[in-house]
Amino acid sequence: MIRGQLRGEVREPALTRLMALTSLDAPAVAALNDALAHAHPIRVRRDVITEGREIAEPLLLLSGWAARVRLLPDGRRQFLSFLLPGDLIGWCDHPYALAVSTVVAMSDVTVCPLPPAETGTPLHAAYAISRAMDEGHLLAQITRLGRLNAQERISDLLLELHERLTLNGTANSNGFDLPLTQETLADALGLTSVHVNRMLQQARREGDLQWRVGHVRLSDPAGLARKIGHAPVRVSAR
Partner DNA sequence: CGAACGTTTGATCTGTCTCAAAGGTGGTGG
Partner DNA sequence: CCACCACCTTTGAGACAGATCAAACGTTCG
Laid out side by side, the sheet with 109-113 consists of 40-42, 109-113, 59-63, 88-89
**Position 182, amino acid:** Q
* Contact region with DNA (CB under 7 A), list: 25-33, 83-91, 116-124, 184-192: 184-192
Distance, in Å, from the CA atom of 235 to the CA atom of 135, rounded to the nearest integer, reads 10
**Shortest reach from residue 45's CB to DNA, in Å:** 10
**Shortest reach from residue 147's CB to a copy of itself, in Å:** 5
Q: According to the binding rule CB under 8 A, does residue 138 interact with a copy of itself?
A: yes
Q: Of DNA, a copy of itself, none, which one does residue 110 interact with (CB within 5 to 8 Å by kind)?
A: none
Contact (Cβ atoms closer than 8 angstroms) between residue 90 and residue 58: yes
Q: Which residues contact 12 (CB under 8 A, 6 or more apart)?
A: 2, 5, 6, 62
Contact (Cβ atoms closer than 8 angstroms) between residue 227 and residue 151: no
Contact (Cβ atoms closer than 8 angstroms) between residue 157 and residue 81: no
Smaller CB distance to a copy of itself: residue 2 or 98? 98
DSSP three-state, residue 184? helix
* Contact region with DNA (CB under 7 A), list: 93-101, 122-130, 167-175, 183-191: 183-191
Contact residues: a copy of itself, CB under 8 A: 22, 52, 54, 68, 70, 72-74, 76-78, 80-81, 92-98, 100-101, 119, 124-125, 127-129, 131-132, 135-136, 138-139, 141-143, 145-147, 187-190, 229, 233-238
Contact residues: DNA, CB under 7 A: 149-151, 181-183, 190-195, 197-201, 211, 213
